[in-house]
Amino acid sequence: MSSLYMHEMEGDFAKEMDLLLFPLQEKIRLMEAELAANCTEAAAFDSPSIMVEEFKLLEINNNEHSSEALKAAKLSTVLRSQGTPSMFSQEVVGYKDEAEQLICQLTRGSKQLDIVSIVGMPGQGKTTLANKVYHDALITCHFHTRAWCCISQVYQKQAVLLEILACIEPESNLSKLDEDYLAHYLYRRLKRNRYLLVLDDIWDIRAWNCLERSFPDDANGSRILLTSRIHNLALEVKPTTKPLPLRQLTDDESWELLQKKLAERNGHPPVKSVLGLHLAKGCKGLPLTIVIIAGVLATLDEDGWEEVAEMLSSKVVCGTEQCMDILELSYIHLPKHLKPCLLYFGAFLENQEIPIWRLMRMWIAEGFVHKTEPKSLEDTAEDYIMDLIGRSLVIVSKQKSTGTVKACRIHNLLHEFCVTKAKEQKFLKLRHCYAEILNFDEPSNTHRLFVYTKGKNFEKSRLFCPLLRTLLVSAQFQEYKIQSNFHFVVRIFKRLRVLDFAKINLGSIFPGEIALLVQLTFLAVGGTMEYIPSSIANLSKLETFLLESRHHILSLPDSIWNMQTLRYLHASGSFFNLSLAEDNDDSSSDLYNLHTFSALNLILGQNVNKIIAKFPNICKLKCRFKETKESVGEWSKIVVMDFLTRLESLNLSFGIVGENPYEFHLPSNLKKLTLKEFPWSIISTTRKLPNLQVLKLVGAERGGTEIWNMEEGEFPKLKFLKLVSLRIVRWTGSGDHLPCLQKLVVEGCGKLEQLPSCLGDTLTLEKIEVRRCRPFVRSLVCEIEEEQMSWGNDNLKIHILEEIEDSSSSDSDNGRYVLL
């Protein structure tokens, strides 16, 4: 029997939607491949953060460092070849009975909104168990909506609400809305849905009180799952609840987990031995200790294992103290070049999810990354990250479509260790309250300072650190406009190399005083500015330039061409306008070192090809093309990019483009291509790209074509294909098409009636995900699944979400959705 649920959306929120649940048996058939999870405490905020004290690096012998760097490079190659499992896809050891008990509590019992909680000491696996349950097939079928957020000891209500909404509406950008609006919006999105919310690592009742009003109780069996290290907190939230106290792993479970972690690192599990069993037992049933110990053991020989075993035998305390000792051991065994990289994590918020690209750029600016030929600095920095992941010190929280790391984080206890060790080593200083900023009394020789506070508090601060090299100030989503100028920054912090004000609202005028900080190599600013002054070119050492502006278009000065050291140019939520000198196009210098440019706004016409030619060594490029009345003349309709021999990632979007077709010459070395609101004629250019692995086609409903006939030999290396909001009715292709495809995502293609037959015998296929398509597509996907099974591919995962009714239906305009 199916149940009908309706969204009550008002005003700006959305159209009403009928939520119709299919029979449970059908859902389980479609989702029988359970998503195993082994998260080690889930990801959290999106805002950069806090930091603190100076680290005196030991002199690194060049030969020794080169040897360590080569080892790291070899290790990262091994890890990449094995794949990088997401934090939500790793195998879980133990807690089977506990998981069954939680699933029963979440899916049965009272129809009223209920609270279920897991409590235990740090590192005991609370989040691991919560993730195992969160991704269980019965849970995913039972609840219409699921969302996960991490609260932590330091939290922002706005950030927590955004994290929950990001799970419900992944494509929405709500970051500029205030917390009251977000709280109301979340209530409306959850209303009349049976939902499951996980509030991970909650520390006090105040966090619950500020969120509770956003959780409606429609007496439909909704649940909230809490994890906390504080036993009484669950009783404060709901006095009648019975928290699940997490037990320690048994000796056998500990040995099993240790074997699995060592196998991930070395490619094979260790042979069962007395020493191995002794090591597992010495971890005293704490999963975090086992994971960290595995990271240490993987780098040691047998004598080293005996040393670790002796150290564990001498510890009689089980808990946080023992974990800290294990982390100290792991830190001691780190190569010298990785120690500052690890301590740098202490500068971010506890549980914060950190984008890899930003972390790498900061490491490079700090001088932590040493180039090893023939690799670039970016590739070497990625090797460092992969090494830390392989040592079980860094957790992968998000993956790219290619399977590589997109974002990462560290465990709470490791964060605490990094903060403490950074203070001991005088590596960095951290300030995150008004009193600490107002009464700043640290030594004037502080080199790295990270401040997490409100903008108005920072403006009143009286910091004096003339030797400061790094300054990061992170306020709450640019909520406060700094009124004063930058004179005090220029006067006091003349030696700054890293300046991050991305989360501070600097207003509508770019502070010209920044141009006097001539030692800068990393600059990130935020505000409402529309243009960048020409004086920016005074920063002759600048390598990374990041802007977070509320204006959609930012104008770069012509002097930008003189900044020969630029490697990374990025605008968040905006596009850069860039032009050449009108009197002489050839007078502008080429930016030979530019590695990444995101995002560039190009007017189709006279100068497009000349501008693109100015960064010949670009590796990643995001740009938007559009026409103007002036550009629709007799200019060339050919956009030439095939000479960009190092370009591997290209994102093209099209604004206002007329009927006249343009011809695009794309480089053959492209590995990732994203096209948005694109003219369908460009598809013919993409077909034969020999190295393309990822293709994302995102088109407006009004554009595109009704028939896509793939030709023989197209996309020979394509692994990931995503189609969003295309007008395709028939998608055909047989024979040797898509021979390497692993994942297919089809979203919002409401007219689709046919899928290519080659999908049935593409034996590399691992997952098909369909969202907001007609019910007929489900039968097509089921046929593909049956054919795949006949070929022996029993591991294909199928996910079909939010089906829409046929366009001919009288209710089609009401946006009816079916949730599986």
Please spell the DSSP secondary structure of 75-105, one letter per residue: HHHHHHHH----TTSSPP-S-HHHHHHHHHH
Assigned token pair, 433? 């309250």
Helices (H) and strands (E) in the chain, counts: 24, 34
- Contacts of 698-704 with CB under 8 Å at 24 or more apart are 698/674, 698/722, 698/724, 698/725, 699/675, 699/724, 699/725, 699/726, 699/727, 700/725, 701/725, 701/727, 701/750, 702/727, 703/677, 703/678, 703/679, 703/727, 704/680, 704/728
Per-residue pLDDT at 335: 92
pLDDT at 3: 34
| pLDDT tens digits, 566-586 | 999 998 877 888 877 655 556
Q: What are the residues whose beta carbons fall under 8 Å from the beta carbon of 25, sequence distance 6 or more? A: none
| Phi-psi group of 286: left, alpha or beta (phi > 0 → left; psi -120 to 50 → alpha; rest → beta) | beta
Separation between Cα atoms, residue 124 and residue 247, nearest integer Å: 8
How confident is the model over 302-310, as a mean pLDDT?
A: 78
Torsion of CA 472, 478, 483, 489, to 10 degrees: 10
Q: Is the pLDDT of residue 487 over 70?
A: no
Comparing 422 with 589, which gets the higher pLDDT? 422
**Per-residue confidence band for 657, with pLDDT thresholds at 50, 70 and 90:** low
d(CA 297, CA 295): 6
Phi–psi pair at 149, nearest 5 degrees: -145, 155
How many angstroms separate the CA atoms of 479 and 162, rounded?
Answer: 15
pLDDT at 49: 31
Question: How far apart are alpha carbons 707 and 691 in whole angstroms?
Answer: 25
pLDDT band at 11 (very low <50, low <70, confident <90, very high): very low
Of the ranges 475-489, 524-538, 729-743, which is most confident?
A: 524-538
- What mean pLDDT is predicted for residues 496-502? 91
pLDDT tens for residues 523-539?
999 888 888 999 999 99
Does position 88 have pLDDT exceeding 80, yes or no?
Answer: no
Question: Collapsing DSSP states into helix, strand and coil, what is residue 672?
Answer: strand
- Give the closest residue to 396 by CA, choosing from 683, 86, 616, 136: 86
The predicted-structure confidence for 745-766, as pLDDT tens digits, reads as follows 998 888 888 899 889 888 899 9
* Residues with Cβ within 8 Å of residue 46, at least 6 apart in sequence: 159, 162, 163, 175, 352, 353
Q: Amino acid identity, residue 512?
A: G
Separation in Å, CA 703 to CA 598, 631, 682, 700: 25, 22, 13, 5
User: Which segment of 253-262, 300-309, 681-690 scores lowest on mean pLDDT?
Assistant: 300-309
Averaged confidence pLDDT in the chain:
78
> CB-based burial of residue 691 (10 Å sphere; 0-12 exposed, 13-18 middle, 19+ buried)?
middle
pLDDT of residue 327: 87
pLDDT at 570: 93
pTM: 0.78
Name the band, by pLDDT with cuts 50, 70 and 90, for residue 38: very low
DSSP 733-776: --SS-STT--EEEEES-TT--B--GGGGG-TT--EEEEES--HH
Distance in Å from the first CA to the final CA of the chain: 14
CA-based radius of gyration for the chain = 27
The arithmetic mean of pLDDT across residues 359-369, rounded, is: 95
Q: Which two tokens stand for residue 33?
A: 């491949």
What's the per-residue H, E or C state across 415-438? HHHHHHHHHHCCCEEEECCHHHHH
Q: From the centroid of its chain, how far is CA 495?
A: 32
Q: Which residues sit opposite 128 in a β-bridge? A: none
Joined tokens for residue 604: 């189709």
Give the pLDDT mean for 226-251: 85
The Cα–Cα gap between 68 and 380 comes to: 12
> pLDDT grade, residue 619 (50/70/90)?
very high
Tens digit of each residue's pLDDT (9 = 90 or more) over 153-211: 877 788 889 889 988 887 677 777 778 889 999 999 999 889 999 999 888 888 888 89
Identify the pLDDT of residue 362.
95
**pLDDT tens across 207-224, in order?**
888 898 999 999 999 999
Q: According to the model, what pLDDT value does residue 630 have?
A: 64
Give the confidence band of 342 by pLDDT, cuts at 50, 70, 90. very high
* Residue range 12-29: mean pLDDT, rounded: 33
CB atoms within 10 A of CB 581: 11
Residues 6+ apart with CB under 8 A from 268: none
Average of pLDDT values for 468-480?
72
Predicted confidence at residue 459, as pLDDT, reads: 64
3-class DSSP string for 24-50:
HHHHHHHCCCCCCCCCCCCCCCCCCCC
> Poorest-confidence range of 610-624, 696-710, 715-729?
696-710
- DSSP-derived secondary structure for 216-242: ---SS--EEEEEES-HHHHHHH-TT--
Beta bridge partners of 429: 449
What pLDDT shows up at residue 672? 95
> How many Cβ atoms from other residues are within 10 Å of residue 274's Cβ?
8
Which of 140, 149, 246 is CA-nearest to residue 194?
Answer: 140
pLDDT in the model for residue 497: 95
Identify whether the C-beta of residue 25 lies closer than 8 Å to the C-beta of residue 33. Answer: no
d(CA 478, CA 476): 6
For the ranges 332-336, 456-460, 678-682, the maximum mean pLDDT occurs at 332-336
Q: Is 652 helix (H, G, I), strand (E, B) or coil?
A: strand
C-alpha–C-alpha distance, residues 265 and 280, integer Å: 17
Confidence of residue 33 (pLDDT cuts 50, 70, 90): very low
CA atoms within 13 A on the CB side of 614: 25
- List beta partners, residue 223: 114, 196
Position 12 confidence tier, pLDDT thresholds 50, 70, 90: very low
Tokens read off for 166: 């990001």
Amino acid 492: pLDDT:
78
Q: Please give the residue that has the higher pLDDT: either 515 or 60.
A: 515
d(CA 85, CA 74): 19
In tens, the pLDDT along 545-560 reads 999 877 778 889 989 9
From CA 201, how far away is CA 151, in angstroms rounded?
Answer: 6
pLDDT band at 230 (very low <50, low <70, confident <90, very high): confident
Whether 315 has a pLDDT exceeding 70, the answer reads no
pLDDT above 90 coverage of the chain, percent: 27
Strand partners of residue 553:
575
Model confidence at 465, pLDDT cuts 50, 70, 90, reads confident
